[in-house]
């Protein structure tokens, strides 16, 4: 079993050349061994010391995770979401091109006649992962749904007014499946 490796940065002192044999990711300066890159320290049975580069693996959304994404495409029965981040794991970027789908039956409680009445292209949505295989998302629930949207006519920011969104610039009114967190930023 592998122990949790100590994480070092370039220049960190690791030991002396009397104690260890140099492996990769380290350098020797007058008998002292230092890390030459950021990573985890590994010491083999034969006392070879090296630093294994630390590679951040992008977080994979898990069932029940809440994700923030942008509506990229709207089809007859579903919306395609490009996922930007997973809540609670915001510091790590998700792999580019991670796409989820919101099926028409998972948009909200109650009957939805058209996906276009609930979402629009480029809306920012907060959604919950309900199936990791196909990355199916749901926006059922008060806190889920659209949290940011722009006016289809003038591209101005839409403000929430009760159950609809209105454009302050051109006064257009648009319908959405709105999250109660609409307009509060990426909460
Ligand atoms: Zn407008």
pLDDT at 184: 86
Q: How many CB atoms sit inside 10 A of residue 25's CB?
A: 21
pLDDT at 63: 94
Quote the ligand 1 centre to 5 CA distance (angstroms).
54
Quote the ligand 1 centre to 91 CA distance (angstroms).
33
Ion ligand 1, residues whose Cβ is below 5 A away: 151, 153-154, 156, 167, 169-170, 172
Quote the ligand 1 centre to 172 CA distance (angstroms).
5
Instruction: Please answer whether residues 117 and 104 qualify as being in contact, where contact means their C-beta atoms are separated by less than 8 angstroms.
Output: no
User: How would you class 114 by CB atoms within 10 Å of its CB: exposed for 0-12, middle for 13-18, buried for 19 or more?
Assistant: exposed
Name the pTM for this structure: 0.69
How many angstroms from the chain centroid is the CA of residue 60?
A: 8
Quote the ligand 1 centre to 158 CA distance (angstroms).
7
Cα distances (Å, whole numbers) of residue 91 to 1, 125, 150:
28, 19, 26
Smallest CA-to-CA distance from 78 within 124, 30, 138 is with: 138
- Could you tell me the domains of the chain? 7-53 (2.40.50.100), 66-175 (2.40.50.140)
pLDDT at 179: 96
pLDDT at 8: 87
Phi, psi of 116 (to 5 degrees): -65, -20
**Could you give the maximum distance between any two Cα atoms of the chain, in Å?**
76
Quote the ligand 1 centre to 95 CA distance (angstroms).
33
pLDDT at 92: 67
Quote the ligand 1 centre to 183 CA distance (angstroms).
16
Quote the ligand 1 centre to 100 CA distance (angstroms).
28
Q: What is the DSSP string of 51-78?
A: EEEP-PPPPPP-TT-EEEEEEEEE-SSE
Bridge partner list, 42: 50
Token reading at 17: 């050349």
pLDDT at 1: 38
Torsion-angle region of residue 148: left (phi > 0), alpha (psi -120 to 50) or beta? beta
Smallest CA-to-CA distance from 150 within 123, 127, 176 is with: 123
* Mean pLDDT for back-to-back runs of 10 residues, the chain (187 residues): 70 94 94 91 94 75 93 95 85 74 96 95 96 94 96 94 95 96 80
């Amino acid at each position: 079993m592998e122990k949790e490796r100590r994480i070092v940065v370039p220049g960190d002192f690791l030991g002396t050349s009397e104690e260890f044999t140099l492996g990769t990711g380290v350098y020797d300066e007058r008998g002292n061994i230092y890390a030459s890159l950021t990573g985890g320290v590994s010491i083999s049975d034969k006392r070879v010391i090296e630093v294994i580069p630390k590679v951040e693996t992008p977080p994979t959304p898990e069932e029940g995770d809440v994700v923030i994404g942008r509506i990229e495409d709207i089809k007859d029965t579903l919306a395609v979401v490009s996922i930007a981040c997973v809540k609670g794991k915001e510091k790590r970027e998700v792999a580019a091109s991670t796409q989820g789908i919101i099926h028409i039956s998972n948009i909200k409680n109650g009957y939805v006649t058209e996906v276009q009445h609930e979402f629009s292209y480029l809306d920012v949505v907060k959604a919950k992962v309900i199936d990791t295989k196909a990355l199916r998302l749901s926006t059922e629930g008060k806190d889920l749904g659209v949290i940011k949207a722009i006016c289809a006519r003038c591209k101005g920011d839409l403000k929430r007014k009760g159950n609809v969104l209105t454009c302050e610039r051109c006064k257009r009114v648009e319908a959405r499946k709105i999250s109660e967190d609409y307009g509060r930023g990426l909460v």
